[in-house]
Amino acid sequence: MIKTVCIFCGSSSTQRKKSSFKKEHGEIAKNIGRGLALKKIKIIYGGANVGLMGIMADEAIKNNGEVIGIAMKSFKSWGVLHKKISKMYLVSTLQKRKELMYKKSDAFIVLPGGIGTIDEAFDVIATNILTKSVKPLIILNYKTFWNKLIELLDTNIKQKYSKKEIKDNINVTTSIDKIFTIINNS
């Protein structure tokens, strides 16, 4: 049974006072935060108060969700740490951050995001394979956002650099409802 889900998503916020992400991605983040909170599923995430990360955390908090941030100590000086979440872990390296996220989570959801989100998703895939773990990774491929990433995995398998088993714990969906179905059935 999944009790704790780690969310990987964008932290980019604004560029010249204009949102740097699509408004509909913000709605996705809200729906995920609200949905997990209402299901009493604990949320682990990167600890920021900006971008999709901040939107998701705010919505979960608004719906009485338990939200735990895992951030690097350097984020403190950047002024992006969320101050209203349930708990915050500050670590010294990116690797320690990802290790703690993995350790504390039963499953992972990948929303739209940048290089950090891609890094976190691949870290889960590699950790699952190397530790023979079965923690689900759910990729929300909303409006084909992650098509190239999925294509890269398929190409890597086709060219025999990875075994097809790397995809055993990866679920790709275009639907938020399907995310909750996967969580309920895991």
Mean pLDDT confidence for 85-94: 96
Residue 79 in this model has a pLDDT that exceeds 90: no
The mean of the pLDDT values for the chain is 93
Give the CA dihedral 149, 154, 156, 158, nearest 10 degrees: -160
The pLDDT, as a whole number, for residue 16 is 42
Looking at residue 167, what DSSP letter applies? G
Each residue's pLDDT tens digit, 28-78: 999 999 999 999 999 999 999 999 999 999 999 999 999 999 999 988 888
Q: Which two tokens stand for residue 54?
A: 């901040």
**What is the spatial distance between Cα 112 and Cα 93, in angstroms, rounded to a whole number?**
23
Give a three-class secondary structure readout of 7-23.
EECCCCCEECCEECCCH
Percent share of the chain, pLDDT over 90:
83
Please state the rounded mean pLDDT for residues 164-181.
93
Percent of the chain with pLDDT over 70: 95
23-38 vs 51-62: helix crossing angle, rounded to 10? 40
For residues 133-147, give the mean pLDDT: 96
Q: Taking the CA of residue 91 as centre, how many other CA atoms within 13 Å lie in the half-sphere pointing to its CB?
A: 15
pLDDT of residue 178: 96
End-to-end alpha-carbon separation of the chain, Å? 6
Q: Is the pLDDT of residue 19 over 60?
A: no
pTM: 0.94
Mean local confidence (pLDDT), 87-116 = 97
Residues in the chain: 186
Residue 36 and residue 66: Cα distance in Å, rounded? 9
Q: Does residue 71 contact residue 64 with C-beta atoms inside 8 Å?
A: no
Could you give the 3-state DSSP secondary structure of residue 65?
coil
